[in-house]
Amino acid sequence: MWNSKPVIAIFGSSQAVEGDADYEQARLLGRLLARSGFVVCNGGYTGVMEATARGASEAHGVALGLTLEVFGDKESANPFVTREIRNATLFDRLANFVKLAEGFMALKGGVGTLAEFSIVWSLLQIRAIDSKPFVFIGRHWTETIQNLRKTLEIREKDIKLFHIVSTPEEAVEMLKKSLSVKK
């Protein structure tokens, strides 16, 4: 918990830009999370990270940005981050996501998003971390997971470790129920 509010780690594309559907969906998600009593936590940079932090900021919420020292001063946190937490390595950053988060969300993304959700999913699968809600937003995830199941050994019980929903509204409601947040 961050300031007595549950932290939700959000993974997604760094390529989304203001005005496109992915950015605006993420911005709405950030706003809904903040209004529902959650703290937004992401990588702190551009795209979905900026959009969710911006949405949280617009709702007078808190947005944590887990940035990387490897980028130095050439990459600073986006202006909507309330508190930046610098991480020496990518592994430290991932460990902080896991340590801080009460729940996880994944939006459309690229290789970084794939790495982040795969690590969290694996940690949940082997019970290296306590059970935490994990919500994938967007029906494209259904096809992604089906394709993974065609080529990898993924059991049904591993699929049950997360939920796929269509909208930010559904995602936030699922988190509120899972974490017993009232607001």
Residue 68: the pLDDT is 93
Q: Where are the beta strands (DSSP E) in the chain?
A: 7-11, 39-42, 63-68, 83-87, 103-106, 134-137, 163-165
Q: What is the dihedral of CA 95, 96, 100, 105, to 10 degrees?
A: -80
What pLDDT tens digit does each residue of the chain (183 aa) get? Answer: 456 899 999 999 999 999 999 999 999 999 999 999 999 999 999 999 999 999 999 999 999 999 998 876 667 899 999 999 999 999 999 999 999 999 999 999 999 999 999 999 999 999 999 999 999 999 999 999 999 999 999 999 999 999 999 999 999 999 999 998 765
Q: Which of 47, 86, 51 is nearest to 65 (CA)?
A: 86
Contacts of 33 (CB under 8 A, 6+ apart): 8, 39, 40, 52, 55, 56, 61, 172, 175
- Given strand 163-165, what is the order of strands in its sheet? 83-87, 63-68, 39-42, 7-11, 103-106, 134-137, 163-165
CATH of domain 7-179: 3.40.50.450
No. of helices (H) and no. of strands (E), the chain: 7, 7
Distance CA 66, CA 9 (A): 10
Contacts of 178 (CB under 8 A, 6+ apart): 103, 133
Q: Other CB atoms closer than 10 Å to residue 117's CB: what's the count?
A: 21
Global pTM reads 0.94
